[in-house]
């Protein structure tokens, strides 16, 4: 799993970025428990042979996202989970790289269910012609490419992102990465040959597009709600399948 968020994430080519990534995955995956993280700066330095500068910049980067707390003398610790910025695009990406946690996916879907219908309503009310064109283009991108192919996924994400853009509400738009991450994760789970769900999903999307095109806010909200619920159900089914698979393979 990679490149979960479409937003430009931290540059992987910078050294501090690599260090931050490594630390973040270790933290989020639970390999580093809430408590002492880095035995001390020097140990890390030697372990991954990186200068103190780069290491410290990585720590500052993670501090900004609430993942770690560095206090003099006591050490740099993994922050308690409830101070993490779970909606930060990077943190989301790291989550999906480190921790395919079902509860987390459920929670994100719940959030989607609260937010996306409202976003669709606003989009229907406020969209410009350019907004609509963008959404329509994204929908078209979903139809002309093969199911579950990369361009299709990108088009799907663009569809939802464009709707957030059309709300003209910047704080609300900040939730788009979370929605996109959820979608990408659920698409990643799906069997690539699950054409039934795909066509159903396509219809859902078309109906939303149609409502937004008509500037019918309530309709857009209702249809978006249906879309999310369908996606949730389908994803839960897949998760259940996975769980039973794991159970049976564990039983062997």
Partner DNA sequence: TCCCGGATAAAGTCATACGATAGAAACGGG
Partner DNA sequence: CCCGTTTCTATCGTATGACTTTATCCGGGA
Binding site for a copy of itself (CB under 8 A): 7-8, 10, 16, 53, 56-58, 60-65, 81-90, 104, 107-108, 110-111, 113-115, 118-119, 122, 169-175, 178
For tokens 């970025």, what's the residue?
17
Query: Which residue stretch of 52-60, 140-148, 167-175, 202-210 sits at the interface with DNA (rule: CB under 7 A)?
Result: 52-60
Q: Interacting stretch for DNA, rule CB under 7 A, among 25-33, 74-82, 142-150, 166-174?
A: 74-82
Q: How far is the CB of 24 from DNA (least distance, A)?
A: 16
Q: Which does 86 bind (CB under 5 to 8 A by kind): a copy of itself, DNA, none?
A: a copy of itself
Strands 68-71 and 75-78: antiparallel
According to CB under 7 A, which one of 53, 85, 143, 199 is a site residue for DNA? 53
| Rounded CA separation 46/44 (Å) | 5
Q: Which of 54, 119, 181, 212 binds DNA (CB under 7 A)?
A: 54
Token output for 97: 């790289």
Contact predicate 160/194, CB 8 Å: no
**What values do phi and psi take at 37, rounded to 5?**
-100, -70
Q: Is 6 in the site for DNA (CB under 7 A)?
A: no
CB nearer to DNA: pick between 69 and 216: 69
Q: With CB cut-offs between 5 and 8 Å by kind, which of DNA, a copy of itself, none does residue 51 bind?
A: DNA
List b or e across 173-199, with b for residues whose CB sees 16 or more CB atoms inside 10 angstroms: bebbbbbbbbbbbbbebbeeebeebbe
Pick between residue 61 and residue 159 the one whose CB is nearest to a copy of itself: 61
Smaller CB separation from a copy of itself, 108 or 208 = 108
Q: Nearer Cβ to DNA, position 63 or 125?
A: 63
Q: Which two tokens stand for residue 130?
A: 């350019």
200: left (phi over 0), alpha (psi -120 to 50) or beta: alpha
* One residue of 2, 8, 73, 103 binding DNA per CB under 7 A: 73
CB atoms within 10 A of CB 149: 11
Cβ of residue 178: shortest distance to a copy of itself, in angstroms? 7
- Binder to DNA among 7, 9, 25, 70 (CB under 7 A)? 70
Distances (CA, A) of 161 to 8, 81, 156, 197: 14, 27, 9, 21
Q: Which two tokens stand for residue 73?
A: 């003398």
Least spacing, CB of residue 81 vs DNA, in Å: 20
Please report how many Cα atoms fall inside a 13 Å half-sphere around the Cα of residue 29, on the Cβ side: 10
Give, as ranges, the residues between 15 and 44 that touch DNA (CB under 7 A).
15-16, 38-42
Structure tokens at 85: 């910025």
Contact footprint for DNA (CB under 7 A): 13-16, 38-42, 50-54, 56-57, 59, 70-76
């Amino acid at each position: 799993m990679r490149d979960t968020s479409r937003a430009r994430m931290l540059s992987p080519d910078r050294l501090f970025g690599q260090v931050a990534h490594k630390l973040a995955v270790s933290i989020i995956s639970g390999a580093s428990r809430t408590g002492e993280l880095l035995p001390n700066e020097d140990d890390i330095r030697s372990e991954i042979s990186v200068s103190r500068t780069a290491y410290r910049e990585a720590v500052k980067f993670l501090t900004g996202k609430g993942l770690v707390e560095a206090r003099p003398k006591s050490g740099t610790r993994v922050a308690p989970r409830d101070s993490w910025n779970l909606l930060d695009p990077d943190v989301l990406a790291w989550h999906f790289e480190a921790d395919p946690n079902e509860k987390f996916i459920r929670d994100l879907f719940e959030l989607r269910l609260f937010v996306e219908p409202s976003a669709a309503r606003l989009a229907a009310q406020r969209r410009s012609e350019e907004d609509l064109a963008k959404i329509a283009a994204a929908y078209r991108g979903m139809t002309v490419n093969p199911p579950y192919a990369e361009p299709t996924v990108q088009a799907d994400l663009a569809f939802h992102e464009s709707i957030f853009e059309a709300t003209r509400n910047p704080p609300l738009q900040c939730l788009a990465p979370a929605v996109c991450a959820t979608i990408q994760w659920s698409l990643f789970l799906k069997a690539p040959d699950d054409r039934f769900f795909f066509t159903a999903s396509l219809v859902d999307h078309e109906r939303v597009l149609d409502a937004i095109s008509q500037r019918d806010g309530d309709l857009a909200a209702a249809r978006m709600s249906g879309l999310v619920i369908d996606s949730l159900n389908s994803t839960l089914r897949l998760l259940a399948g996975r769980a039973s698979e794991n159970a049976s393979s564990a039983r062997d």
